[in-house]
Amino acid sequence: MRLIAFLASLAAPLLAQFQPQPARTEVALVALDSHAVPGGELRLALRFRSEPKFHIYWRNPGDAGQAPTWKWLEDGGIAFDGAVGWPAPIRYDQSGVMNFVHEGETHLFLKGKVPADASGSLRLRAKVEWLECDDAGCYPQEGEVALVIPVGASSQPTIPAGARASLDRVPSETLTVRGRLSADGRSLRVTQELAGGSLAPVVGPLAFFPERNFVAPATTFGPMAMTAAPAGADGKPRALAFSNLSLKDAPEGLADGPLGYVAEVRDKRTGGTRWVQVRIELETPASGGAAKPAEDSTAPKPTDARPTAKPAGTDGPTWTPWSPEAQAKALAEGRTVYVDFTARWCATCQVNKRVYDDALRADLAKAGVVLMRADWDRRDEVIRAELATYGRQGIPLNVFLRAGAEPVVLPEILTAQLVRDGLAASLTGARLKVASEDSQVSAAWMLLLALVGGAVLNLMPCVFPVIGLKVLGFAGQAGGDRAVAVRQSLAYATGVLVSFLALGAVILGLKAGGEAVGWGFQMQSPGFVLGTAALMVVLGMSLAGAFEIGTGLASAAGAKGDSGAFLSGVLATAVATPCTAPGLGAALGYALDARRGPAETLLFFAVTGLGMALPYVLLVAWPALGRRLPKPGEWMETLKQAMAFPLFAYAVYLLWVLGAQVTDAAWVRDASLGLVLLAACCWAWGRWGAPHRGERERLWGRALAAGLGVATLAHLYHGLPS
């Protein structure tokens, strides 16, 4: 029972966290017409099919997210008109962050004019980028889609069922309503005339999606009130329906762009519903007149989280786009600059924006602060280089700047008080006192996080596959020479520490050479991932009993002997780096900050390695702990064979990682078959290289198995996409 409980405690993290992160949305370009007619119109659709629990985003993602975008690589000469038919989304509330998303299958509809001289067939190819999310996180993805459509004298519609369902959610008409801003600028009254127009038989809206965030994304269309209005020119009575939309907490201002929303309405005559696109003609109390509706454009645009005008009802400064030139100009004028490095897909960034209430904006305005937002939706190199100057590879990043003064970098999670403290520190030249800065208390706290995070790293799914090997080693030592056990545990700890220090040194060297690397950077290399997957297959086949590797690599796997224990520590470190334990992320971020010196960074890596090795050293150093392990027996062979399956599972996970890194599906297929062939080579090595075989048979068996295995890996590495 102790063995079962012990193994169950090890298996729990694997079952809970061993989750691959490949693309979970299939993208394709489909034709909605059977032929391209010369000089005629061709209808197409981008089809997105997301797996259950995953979603992509609408043209306005809401509080966070990023809408799909695409770029034509080959357009077949078709002149696309820029209009995109976006189906209405659904609301997705994730702990108070309101998003507008598409789940399951959805289509984005495109159309363009076919060249008059088109003949034969037209080839279309586009690069598509999208953000897919589930409850665990968001993953930027990209891929290419292609389509070849024949040219013909006539065409028939070819709309599949999935496209029809999406088409039914595309607004079927555009309506115009009036919007009047309240005197205090905090609400917008939307007024609809209910007689003499197509709105007369309509009840609604039943669903409401603003096309940009001039109201907070969580806003719903409130109940509509009715009032009588003077009769029209035709003498027929009229009525007005109106509803007030609160502008409180709106991320964007009314003047930032077109005002409109997509709404679902019910037709009182038929009882059915339909989707309409509503445009708002904005009035103001001062003019009393209606402004001309902004030009309608449904072409895909990069979503932009920064407002370019202040929200109604506030006295704060306006946000302006960041650029190195704009920042330098403001600093040269003696202004204080506050830069918010952000992106729509960064949920933390969107939550941080909620701290900029009226009072905080007024304080910033009073201090004459220039507010700039660096929009990293497209991950351009200019912003990446600017982040690197602060020792960052990611966002959020919020910083106060003044000419001749040190930048004041705020913590990743903001509060209004932290922003005020940062402003005060920038104006006075004092250091910002927060827990994540350079105080001795915070350094000690981060070291403690590194130690604990290293220990917890043993329970992460990346390390779990090799834990069973250590369990076998310790169980085999139970009741044996305690001095040998202590020596081997120290050798294992030395292997872990040396590996962590080497990893830290490599990261420091690459960063000094201008590379933006961090924890687990080697897992970004398909070659390293492939090699690790192959190693997991070989070790797994050995544990399953297909063959015995021999004293060298077997020692690395099972920690037999001092050198084997050392190599076992190296192996554990190599497979640990894709994972980050609770608390370890903050400690590593602190250690890799540009303000840390090489000695400090290496100290943090050493403490993390010590934390990872500590449980094994304690098991041996304290006999009472070691006695809690089961005694050696036949169960060890069963456990040894059973532990092959976590290694195989890890190899499969690494294949999923390769699938996300390499866009060549044919190579990923070859890699999968190659690992199967490598397993067969291990089996052949054990089958025909066994001691009871004749010397000639062993020689040929091992030579063929080794030759085929090496040739397989050489073929995969030779064709590895860059």
Residue 42: beta bridge partners?
Answer: 112
Count of structural domains within the chain: 4
Domain end point (choices 620, 635, 650): 635
Q: Are residues 196 and 162 in the same domain?
A: no
Q: Are residues 212 and 128 in the same domain?
A: no
Peptide bond into 205 cis (omega under 30): yes
Q: Are residues 342 and 271 in the same domain?
A: no
Q: For residues 278-301, b (16+ Cβ closer than 10 Å) or e, as one string? A: bbbbbbeeeeeeeeebeeeebebe
- Most confident of the following: 124-128, 305-309, 332-336, 373-377: 124-128
Read off the pLDDT band of 632 (50, 70, 90): low
Question: Mind listing the pLDDT tens digit for each residue in 696-711?
Answer: 888 888 888 889 989 9
Q: Average of pLDDT values for 44-70? A: 92
Domain with residue 136: its CATH number is 2.60.40.10
- Residue of higher predicted confidence among 479 and 457: 457
Q: Specify the pLDDT at position 521.
A: 55
Q: Are residues 451 and 565 in the same domain?
A: yes
Q: Are residues 461 and 598 in the same domain?
A: yes
Answer yes or no: are the C-beta atoms of 29 and 124 closer than 8 Å: yes
Answer yes or no: are the C-beta atoms of 65 and 181 closer than 8 Å: no
Q: Is the confidence at residue 363, as pLDDT, over 80? A: yes
Task: Round the average pLDDT of the chain to a whole number and report it.
Answer: 76
Distance separating the N- and C-terminal Cα atoms of the chain: 50
Q: Is the confidence at residue 679, as pLDDT, over 50? A: yes
Q: Specify the pLDDT at position 520.
A: 55
Domain end point (choices 396, 428, 460): 428
Q: Are residues 161 and 192 in the same domain?
A: no
Is residue 696 exposed (0-12), middle (13-18) or buried (19+ Cβ within 10 Å)? exposed
Q: Is the confidence at residue 365, as pLDDT, over 70? A: yes
Any domain includes 100 = yes
pTM of the prediction? 0.46
- Most confident of the following: 28-37, 167-176, 545-554, 559-568: 28-37
- List the Cα angle 176/165/52 in 5-degree steps: 115
CA 14, CA 29: separation in Å to the nearest integer? 38
Q: Specify the pLDDT at position 34.
A: 93
Q: Are residues 488 and 617 in the same domain?
A: yes
Q: Are residues 162 and 200 in the same domain?
A: no
Q: Are residues 181 and 273 in the same domain?
A: yes
Maximal C-alpha separation, the chain: 110
Range of the domain at 233: 173-283
- Residue of higher predicted confidence among 697 and 470: 697
Q: Specify the pLDDT at position 516.
A: 46
Domain with residue 262: its CATH number is 2.60.40
CA 590, CA 498: separation in Å to the nearest integer? 21
- Most confident of the following: 47-51, 171-175, 229-233, 639-643: 47-51
Q: Specify the pLDDT at position 91.
A: 93
Read off the pLDDT band of 258 (50, 70, 90): confident
For residue 610, give every residue at least 6 positions away whose Cβ sits within 8 Å of its Cβ, in sequence order, or none.
451, 454, 493, 496, 497
Any domain includes 306 = no
Q: Specify the pLDDT at position 641.
A: 79
Question: Mind listing the pLDDT tens digit for each residue in 588-608?
Answer: 656 665 566 788 778 888 888
CA 47, CA 54: separation in Å to the nearest integer? 15
Any domain includes 292 = no
Any domain includes 589 = yes
For 421, the token pair is 């403290």
For residue 295, give every residue at least 6 positions away whose Cβ sits within 8 Å of its Cβ, in sequence order, or none.
258
Question: Mind listing the pLDDT tens digit for each residue in 89-135?
Answer: 999 987 677 899 999 999 999 999 999 999 999 999 999 999 898 87
